[in-house]
Structures are given as C-alpha cells and as structure tokens.
Amino acid sequence: MIDYFSDRENGPVARTEEVITPVVWAAIVATVQGLINSGAFGQRFPERCADGQAICGCDENAFGAAVVGEVRGLEWPLQTTSKVEDGFSFQWEPFAPDTLLILDFVAFAHAMVAKPIQREHHKFLRHDHLAFDQEAGQEEFRDTINRYFARNGLAFEMQPTGRIVRVLPPVIDLALRRTMFNTGDRTLDVLLEEAKTKFSDPNSLIRREALERLWDGWERLKSLADSSNKKNSVHLMLSAVTTEPALYARLDAEAHQLTSIGNDHLIRHYAVNQKPVIDADHVDYLFHRLFAMIQLMLKKKAA
C-alpha cells in the first residue's frame, strides 16, 4: 500500500460514495490493460509461443470475449469515453458503465489474474516464457483496486476471496460485527443473519431486501416471549430491558413506531397505498434504528 502524505496529514477520505465515477473507471481500465500487456491473464487466456507452445503472454481477444460473455452489458474494448452529439458537432466525454457492472468486472478480473513470472527468455522470438503465481497476482490486484476505492471515498471493499462488499457506516458496522444471533428460535436466527449478510451487499436492491428481512425478524421477535399474545410478549420483553417507567414508556412508543413504519411503507407488505423506501440513506437509517432496538431486546433477554 502506498503511503500518501495527504492521508497522514488529513486522514483517510470518508467511504460514503456508492457510484463509481469515470475517473475511477478509467483507472481500473488502465490497470487491467497493464495486466494484459504484462501477460497476467495468460494462465487462463494464454498466448503461446510458435516454437514449442510455451505461454508467452495473454490472448487479449480471448480475454475480451470472456468479459463480454460473462459480464453482460460491458463492451470490449472497454469504453472510458462516450460520444455526445450536439447538432452537427460532437465531443467525447468521460464515461463509466453502471457501478454494479464495474464491480462484476473487477470480480471477474480478480478470478482470472495471476502474477506472471519469467521462466526463460526466448532470444529468437524476443519474448519471455511465463509461469504464474495466482495468489500473488490476486493480492496485488486487490490492493490496487481497494486503494482506488479508498482514495476516492467509495464504500466498497474487495475481500481476499474476491467478493466485493459494502463498507458500512462505522457505528452499524461495529454493531453487526459484534452481534451473533442465538435467540433460541431457529427461524428468527435465520432471518436476522440473512438481514445482516444482505446489508453489506453493494447492490441497493439487495440491501432493501435486508431491511425486509429485519422487519420480518422484528415481527417474529415480538411474539418470542408469549406466542399467543404479541402485545403481552412485547410488554414482557421491554420489562426485561428496563423497570424505569419513563424509559419503558419511550421504548414502548418506539416499538409501536417501528411496527407502524413496517406496516405503512413497502417493507413487509405491498398494498397499493404503501410508500416505498427507495433512498439508500433512508434504508441505512431505518435498518440502524430497528437493529438497535432488536439488539437491545435480545441482549437483555439473554441476560
């Protein structure tokens, strides 16, 4: 990792952006093109020496065909500018595909890359015969991509497996990392774990599913103490949280508010008069708010 002076002076950039800009896309394309030129995709898409068939580089056409076939929606060669027409004239402007397409491409490239190692030099054809270290190549690629994400404030991180996850807001990230669900109810545990996993997905639609699962978990949690009477069940659980009347009243009001949010918006039901929750920031807020309540009730129940 490069030690940038500005990072030491100003601290790291806040990781809040969720749209990959043309600037970052151009950097990713330049990195991949450099890897193609070095032969780093040659293990999976080999260019072979005419004298003996040893691998001497990467077959760029084969690599490009695989990209187009696997990452639907991307063009090859990769485009970093688009033609914008204005009457009889036109100009080229910076361009980036949809962010999810870019993330899929990055994951694909990570799966295919391997560090090329010179095995021998072929003097007559003036090229090297190559061997490959996939683990080292993938690590270097991850470091580069994660550095682009971090320095441009993008809320994405590539894990050692190549899976890309969202960098969560620090408070909710810490809470999710520390929480293991063992409620005694298998269905509830599955709902909460699914919500936890989906919430770190880069796809905003998957994160909305996380919110739905969390609200389903909330409804099930409310009947955990008394399956025949949900109102009494909530009373029993909140009484375990606190015996202080004023705080109990506030938590009881919050429980009613959370239930009302789930019923009035397109979270648990899909009636035509319900309002959808679309904005990613609203999803984050509602998830954090409900998760805090669930975490508190389960912690005091466990105690």
Q: Do 150 and 271 belong to one domain?
A: no
Boundary of a domain, candidates 108, 133, 165? 165
Nearest CA-CA partner of 297 in 160, 181, 148: 181
Question: What are φ and ψ of residue 225, in 5° steps?
Answer: -80, -25
Nearest-CA neighbor of 210 among 269, 279, 267?
267
Q: Are residues 68 and 175 in the same domain?
A: no
pLDDT of residue 270: 60
Question: Which pLDDT score is estimated for 5?
Answer: 83
Structure tokens belonging to residue 50: 């005419």
Of the residues 148, 165, 182, the one at which a domain ends? 165
Cβ atoms of 166 and 155 within 8 Å: the answer is yes
Does the N-terminal peptide bond of residue 169 adopt cis geometry, omega within 30 degrees of 0? no
What's the pLDDT score for residue 267?
64
**pLDDT (tens digit per residue) in 88-105:** 788 899 999 999 999 999
**144 shares its domain with 14:** yes
Structure tokens given for 123: 């003097």
- Do 130 and 154 belong together in one domain? yes
275 and 208 inside one domain? yes
Which tens digit of pLDDT belongs to each residue from 146-185? 999 999 999 999 999 999 999 987 778 877 888 888 898 9
What pLDDT is recorded for position 263?
85
CA 30 to chain centre: 22
Total domains present in the chain: 2
- pTM comes to 0.84
Helix, coil or strand: residue 128: strand
Domain span holding position 255: 168-302
At which of 145, 165, 185 does a domain end? 165
Taking the CA atoms of the chain, what radius of gyration do you get in angstroms?
A: 26
Q: Indicate if 178 and 149 belong to the same structural domain.
A: no
Extract the tokens encoding 135: 């683990």
Kindly state whether residues 136 and 257 are assigned to the same domain.
no
Instruction: Give the DSSP H or E segment for 109.
Output: helix 99-112
Please tell me whether residues 56 and 40 are part of one structural domain: yes
Tokens representing residue 191 in the block:
């709902």
**79 burial class (0-12, 13-18, 19+ CB within 10 angstroms)?**
middle
Question: Do 103 and 185 have their domain in common?
Answer: no
Same domain, 43 and 103: yes
- The gap from C-alpha 254 to its chain's centroid, in whole angstroms, comes to 30
41 and 129 in a common domain: yes
User: What is the structure's pLDDT at 268?
Assistant: 59
Same domain for 133 and 188: no
- Rounded CA-CA distance 250/245 in Å is 9
Q: What is the pLDDT along the chain (303 residues), one digit of tens a residue?
A: 678 888 888 888 888 899 999 999 999 999 999 999 999 999 999 999 978 789 999 999 999 999 999 999 999 999 999 988 877 788 899 999 999 999 999 999 999 999 999 988 877 778 789 999 999 999 999 999 999 999 999 999 999 999 999 998 777 887 788 888 889 899 999 999 999 999 999 998 899 999 999 999 999 999 999 999 999 999 999 999 999 999 999 999 999 999 999 888 766 556 556 677 888 889 999 999 999 999 999 988 755
Q: Which residue has the tokens 């466990």?
A: 302
